[in-house]
Amino acid sequence: MEDLHFSYESKEVLKGVSLRAEKNEIVSILGPNGVGKTTLLRCICNMHRPDSGTVRVCGSDLSAIPSKEMAKLVGYVPQKADVTRTTVFDSVLIGRRPHMGMAFSDRDLEIAWNVIESLGLGDKSLDFVDEISGGEFQKVQIARAIAQEPELLVLDEPSNNLDIANQHITMRMIEHVVREHGLCTVMTMHDINLAAYYSDKFVFVKDGMIAAFGGREVITPEIIREVYGIEADVIDHGGQTVVIPCREQPQYDDIVGAGVGGHRRK
Ligand X SMILES: Nc1ncnc2c1ncn2[C@@H]1O[C@H](COP(=O)(O)OP(=O)(O)OP(=O)(O)O)[C@@H](O)[C@H]1O
Which of 146, 88, 147, 241 minimizes the C-alpha distance to 158?
Answer: 146
DSSP summary character for residue 266: -
- Residue pair 36/116 in contact (Cβ under 8 Å)? The answer is no
Dihedral over alpha carbons 184, 190, 192, 196 (to 10 degrees): -20
Nearer to ligand X, 27 or 112 (CB): 27
> Exposed, middle or buried: residue 126 (CB in 10 Å: 0-12, 13-18, 19+)?
exposed
Question: Which residues are 232's β-sheet partners?
Answer: 245
In whole angstroms, what separates CA 151 from the centre of its chain?
A: 15
* Site residues, ligand X (CB under 6 A): 8, 13, 31, 33-39
Least separation in angstroms between residue 138's CB and ligand X is: 15
Q: What span, in angstroms and rounded, lies between the C-alpha atoms of 158 and 162?
A: 8
Sheet holding 52-54, edge to edge: 11-17, 2-8, 52-54
Helix (H) or strand (E) holding 1: none
Q: What span, in angstroms and rounded, lies between the C-alpha atoms of 83 and 174?
A: 23
